[in-house]
Amino acid sequence: MSEPVFLRACRGQSVEHVPVWFMRQAGRSLPEYRALRGTGSILEAIADPALAAEITLQPVRRYGVDAAILFSDIVVPYHAIGFGVDVVPGRGPVIERPFATRADLARLRELSDADVIHVSETVRLVVAELARNDVPLIGFAGAPFTVASYLVEGAPTRVFGVVKSMMHADPALFDALMERLVHISIGFLRRQVAAGARAVQLFDSWAGALTRDEYQRFALEPTRRVLAGVADLGVPTILFGVGTGELLDLMASSGPDVMGIDWHVDLDAGRRRVGRPVQGNLDPARCLGGPAGAVEAAREVLARAGHEAGHIFNLGHGVLPQTDPASLEAVVRVVHDEGLAGVS
């Protein structure tokens, strides 16, 4: 039996239909998610394998997407090792005592199996359920720079002033921090794959805050090392960030099988910059005007994707909470019916 279309597209192979899934598909845009989630911290929901597995499966059932993404978060391993992380609704990760000095390196020990046993258990539950329809599960981790930005800034930022100050004022300390994050990310991804994840995505969501020089000096090598640290597992790797148009060639040189392209870059231009399969890149905002508008926007992406094998349809960033699920249902349908990339 051949592999699922999502995995084949990641490898640049031909497919029966163009695969599609949505970043943040498991989340607040789904009424069934809001009903299940209640009001506790997302970290509590993630710590409950039966609940986290059910939330992971909800969008697969509703949308018929070609891959599931684990219901988890990029800060989960740091919460697990006791770094002191909370995720504040409507805001994002907040750190009790941000990373500031050499002494803080000791707070970033390597992961053990026990630290993330709940995540491994969620993966096993999801994979057992998805096996019926042979839908692959994508595991994920935060890329070192994006995680560093949270740990150093202490809260979501648009400026990145604290983390950039550390980078430039004490590059040795910043490198040492990134080194710890490389090991933790590798440990987190390897455990998800060991439990049954069939692809992994590295979210470098905020890499677009860096200049080319900064990316090259501080982020490229740690990212490359995370990807190299899972290469022996044989699962496709995807690297994604937002506002990364000027960095795409550098990011691709870190070695992912697939590059995520955000909506600021035309998909065909992005593909030329990265020279490998691409994932993306429908503007999430264009899914807010109802199904007809979303379908029109999806057709524009499909036109840019053309016929060449190696396109995984996705949004250019996560599903916005206000999105009507009917719009995403319509997008899945048009991608499956009309996408031509690699369809023989």
Catalytic residues: 24, 28, 37, 73, 150
Minimum gap (Å) between residue 54 Cβ and ligand CP3: 13
Residue closer to ligand CP3, measured from CB, 9 or 57: 57
Q: Is 82 exposed, middle or buried (0-12, 13-18, 19+ CB in 10 A)?
A: exposed
Residue closer to ligand CP3, measured from CB, 42 or 342: 42
Minimum gap (Å) between residue 81 Cβ and ligand CP3: 17
Write out the H or E segment, with its range, that includes residue 237: strand 237-240
Yes or no: say if 66 and 333 are a contact pair by the CB < 8 Å rule. Answer: no
Helix (H, G, I), strand (E, B) or coil at 167: helix
∠ CA 339-255-233, nearest 5°, is 90
Residue closest to ligand CP3 (Cβ) = 205
Residue closer to ligand CP3, measured from CB, 188 or 342: 188
Residue closer to ligand CP3, measured from CB, 70 or 330: 70
Q: Which value, in Å, is the radius of gyration of the alpha carbons in the chain?
A: 19
Helix axes 161-169 and 171-194, enclosed angle (nearest 10): 120
* Beta strand residue intervals within 102-146, DSSP E: 137-142
∠ CA 205-240-189, nearest 5°, is 95
Helix (H, G, I), strand (E, B) or coil at 233: helix
CA atoms of 209 and 165, how far apart (whole Å):
13
Residues that bind ligand CP3 in the complex, under the rule CB under 6 A: 23-28, 37, 42, 69, 71-74, 87, 89-93, 140, 156, 203, 205, 318
CA atoms of 240 and 137, how far apart (whole Å):
17
DSSP letter string, 11-61: TT--BSS--B--TT-SSTT-HHHHHHHTTS-HHHHHT-HHHHHHHHHHHHH
Minimum gap (Å) between residue 211 Cβ and ligand CP3: 20
Residue closer to ligand CP3, measured from CB, 320 or 340: 320
Whole-angstrom CA distances from 36 to 53, 54, 137, 214, 217 are 12, 9, 21, 42, 44
Minimum gap (Å) between residue 319 Cβ and ligand CP3: 7
Minimum gap (Å) between residue 195 Cβ and ligand CP3: 16
Minimum gap (Å) between residue 267 Cβ and ligand CP3: 19
Residue closer to ligand CP3, measured from CB, 20 or 342: 20
